[in-house]
DNA sequence: ATCACTGTACTATTATACTATTACAGTAGA
DNA sequence: TCTACTGTAATAGTATAATAGTACAGTGAT
């Protein structure tokens, strides 16, 4: 499957699932009309309980990102791209402040940014859905 | 007091307390030999329970960052500065990958970095302990 | 109709984060 | 000594994340 879950993170698994699916849509890996994995399949792949995935999907539905089709699965509706990017940048802002307060130099951080964008250091995704 | 807690975050409060104190030491706001706030005082200031602060302090003691002095309080011992900075940069790396995967451009991120380091957007700390 | 898949719903249980409360022990100062 | 502060410890209760299991209902293909 296309993403991995960090079980040692304090971020709940269902939130990580939501984030991953939103990111996949934003990056174009998932398009409007695509089917995402069934609750049972994804739960099996990730190695978590059905209910955990169900919660993630339920909340994504509330957010208007996906739509359930009983008997068939969940279909991608779309995302508020700009809004999600702003959320990500907000999160980044907080972390950067911590970095600054810890004495990390601006140059070091810009280097990290460049490292991520210079080919490697990026995603380890598959191309199929 | 010198830091604020994000109660809406999924990061546990006791972890946020640990991070904040480590960061304060790294940035020089707290020096070796300084006393940090008493468990009861900090708990009252933040608005959390004594046990929550006690847990943070206990773990900081295990990490060798502070040392308890019964009847007096906790004293700063020191931190493995470089190690903590590397941990922060690792965290940053993960977040940057998410940003990249979501289609945020490199320039935007560098702008955010510069914004943080250009005076405002930084800390809202007091200088006293 | 049957089968195999979908989503949906519910209950019970465990682990963790946090709160609330009480108590005890060490230290410093009036 | 008394008082007021420190850390330490233990118990009980609540909320949430996640697990486990079961059951029901809709859809599509054979």
Q: What are phi and psi of A83, to 5 degrees?
A: -60, -45
Asked whether residue B30 carries a pLDDT value surpassing 60, the answer given is yes
Q: Which two tokens stand for residue B129?
A: 């302990």
B92–A96 C-beta distance less than 8 A? yes
Burial A17-54 (b: 16+ CB within 10 A, else e): bbbbbbbbbbeebbeeeeebbebeebbeebebeeebbe
> Is the CA virtual torsion A99, A103, A106, A109 positive or negative?
negative
Residues 6+ apart with CB under 8 A from B89: A99, A104, A108, A109, A112
pLDDT at B128: 35
Residue A97 has its nearest CB partner, among B95, B106, B123, at: B123
Say how far apart CA A124 and CA A120 lie, in whole Å: 10
Asked whether residue B52 carries a pLDDT value surpassing 70, the answer given is yes
Contact between the CB of B24 and strand C at under 7 Å: no
Please provide the distance, in angstroms rounded to a whole number, between the alpha carbons at the two ends of chain B.
Answer: 8
- Which of B25, B23, B41, B42 has its CA nearest to residue B33? B25
Q: A68 pairs with which residues across the strands?
A: A74
> Is the CA virtual torsion B8, B48, B80, B58 positive or negative?
negative
SS3 call for A14: helix
Total H helices, total E strands in chain B: 5, 3
Contact between the CB of B74 and strand D at under 7 Å: yes
Q: Which two tokens stand for residue B94?
A: 């993960």
Cβ contacts below 8 Å, chain A against chain B, sum to 126
pLDDT at A3: 74
Residues 6+ apart with CB under 8 A from A7: A13
Q: What are phi and psi of B13, to 5 degrees?
A: -60, -45
Which residue ranges make up each domain of chain A?
A: 13-76, 81-117
Task: Residue B96: count other Cβ atoms within 10 Å of its Cβ.
Answer: 26
Task: Note the Cα A84 to chain centre separation in Å.
Answer: 10
Best of B11, B18, B96, B122 to disrupt the A interface by mutation (most A CBs within 10 Å)?
B96
Say how far apart CA B38 and CA B54 lie, in whole Å: 9
Question: H or E segment at A114?
Answer: helix A106-117
Say how far apart CA A16 and CA A5 lie, in whole Å: 7
Which positions 52-111 on chain A have a beta carbon less than 7 angstroms from any atom of strand C? 54, 57-58, 61, 68-74
Q: Which two tokens stand for residue A34?
A: 């695509």
pLDDT in tens, chain A (129 residues): 467 899 999 999 999 999 999 989 988 889 999 999 999 999 999 999 999 999 999 999 999 999 999 899 999 998 888 888 998 999 999 899 889 888 899 999 999 999 999 965 444 433 333
B13-76 CATH fold:
Arc Repressor Mutant, subunit A (1.10.10)
Nucleotide nearest to A42 (CA to C1'): C6
What is the percentage of chain B residues whose pLDDT exceeds 90?
67
């Amino acid at each position: 499957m296309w993403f991995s879950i960090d079980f040692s993170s304090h971020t709940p698994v269902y939130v990580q699932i939501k984030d991953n699916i939103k990111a996949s849509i934003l990056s174009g890996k998932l398009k409007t009309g695509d089917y995402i994995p069934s609750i049972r399949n994804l739960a099996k792949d990730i190695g978590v309980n059905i209910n955990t995935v169900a919660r993630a999907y339920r909340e994504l539905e509330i957010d208007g990102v996906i739509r359930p089709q009983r008997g068939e699965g969940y279909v991608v509706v779309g995302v508020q791209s700009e809004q999600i990017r702003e959320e990500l940048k907000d999160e980044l802002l907080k972390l950067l402040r911590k970095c600054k307060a810890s004495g990390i130099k601006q140059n070091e951080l810009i280097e990290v940014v460049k490292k991520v964008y210079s080919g490697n250091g990026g995603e380890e995704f598959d191309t199929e859905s």
